[in-house]
Amino acid sequence: MAEKDDQERTEQPSEKRLREAREKGDVPRSRDLSGALVTIAGMAAMMSGSSQAWTHAQRIYQLGLSYDRAELMSGQLPLHVLSAAGWEALLLFAPVALATVLAALGAPLLLGGWSFSSEALMPKFDHLDPIAGLGRMVSMRGLVELGKSLLKLAFIGAALLLLLRHSAGAMLNTGNGHVADDIAASMSLLGRSALLFGVMLGLIGGIDAVYQRFDYNRRQRMTKQELRDESKETDGNPELKGRIRQMQHQMSRKRMMQDLPKADVVVTNPTHFAVALRYDDGRMRAPRVIAKGMDVLAQQIRLVASSHRIPMVEAPPLARALYATTQLGQEVPAALYVAVAQVLAYVYQLKQATEHGATPPEPPSPQVDPDLLGPYRES
């Protein structure tokens, strides 16, 4: 079942998926790499400050053996010895502790970065299920961890065994020399062993870090359906967005029809297009489109214009150009100023002729640049 699920997860994880995993505390981690850095840092600090460490160790040893009879009979001796020994012990282990703490804090930056998640601290009672725990032990991931542990044991054990065999002669001679020299030789061997352990663990940790990154990406992969569902959550349901756009379009059309009676003229195609223009020379720099439509909507615009006695001018090229180059509420482009001015002048002359009973003027035939017609050249 798990193999089938992995086969279905063929898509790379999205940013949202990775962000949610990080919020849950699920980030790639390599305990081997972290352990190696901590070990190497601690041993490096210990070996670099071995002379100071030896001095502090001697002082601790002396505190327990060097005191006179008066101090021995004093009740302050135990407190004095304990405080002095505690201070020397603090100075002895402080560099090592500081180095290991810095290494422990810096190790996560190499793989996954720092991650603080309260959710990861919550108890998970399903982990107490012995059957589920047995399933995790015999899972592919559990088998991989078992194989890694055996390899670590084999490689590190072999390396330490070779080091001890190489240093066998020096170890056997430690009882023949000065005590201080023998202690220094033993500590040096211990330090080299620990450093070798850290280096070997670091090599294994580097390989494990690559594997952990690969395994993390594999576990975070998504199915195509999960990607689609996430896209719906992030960008919104396409059906809902379509419904919202439809409602917005209906509201815009309703406002357009309410503003249509304010128009000064409606330029028509005469059947396919209708564009209503309004011009207030005291408030507008240029005529503005307050309604436009094509086919059925154009017919509705013409009906409203006719019922409100708004002049309609047949100018097919101009109607198509206005429809192609303007949006509702926009001023007409400068390239159409002359053509629109001819239409407005005609409307003004028609109004004057109607009021005075004069002969109506000839309708204009404004010329329009064909490039302004856009996709409506043949309409």
SS3 213: helix
- Give the global pTM: 0.45
CA separation for the pair 280, 321 (Å, rounded): 22
Percentage above 90 pLDDT, the chain: 5
With CA atoms as reference, report the closest residue to 211 among 144, 127, 289, 301: 144
Q: Of 154-158, 208-212, 291-295, which has the strongest mean pLDDT?
A: 291-295
CB atoms within 10 A of CB 338: 11
Structure-model confidence comparison of residues 162 and 377, the more confident one: 162
Residues 6+ apart with CB under 8 A from 291: 256, 257, 259, 260, 263, 266, 274, 275, 276, 301, 328
How many alpha carbons lie under 13 Å from residue 29 in its C-beta half-sphere?
Answer: 13
**Which band of pLDDT confidence, cut at 50, 70 and 90, is reported for residue 100?**
confident
CA separation for the pair 298, 149 (Å, rounded): 78
| One-character DSSP codes across 100-166 | HHHHHHHGGGGTT-----SGGGS--GGGG-HHHHHHHHTSHHHHHHHHHHHHHHHHHHHHHHHHHHH
Lowest-pLDDT range of 226-240, 300-314, 320-334, 350-364? 226-240
CA separation for the pair 292, 7 (Å, rounded): 54
Q: Of 48-57, 237-246, 354-363, which has the strongest mean pLDDT?
A: 354-363
| pLDDT, average across residues 6-10 | 66
Which tens digit of pLDDT belongs to each residue from 232-249? 666 655 666 667 677 767
Q: Quick one: pLDDT at residue 266? A: 92
Statement: residue 284 has pLDDT above 70: yes
| One-character DSSP codes across 52-78 | HHHHHHHHHHHHTT---HHHHHSTTHH
Pairing of strands 265-268, 273-278: antiparallel
Q: Quick one: pLDDT at residue 127? A: 55
What is the 8-class DSSP label of residue 309? T
**Which band of pLDDT confidence, cut at 50, 70 and 90, is reported for residue 141?**
low
Which tens digit of pLDDT belongs to each residue from 167-211? 777 666 766 666 666 666 777 777 777 777 778 878 887 887 888
Which tens digit of pLDDT belongs to each residue from 104-127? 888 777 776 666 655 555 555 555
Q: Which domains does the chain have, with CATH numbers?
A: 2-233 (no CATH), 253-376 (3.40.1690.10)
Pairing of strands 265-268, 312-314: parallel
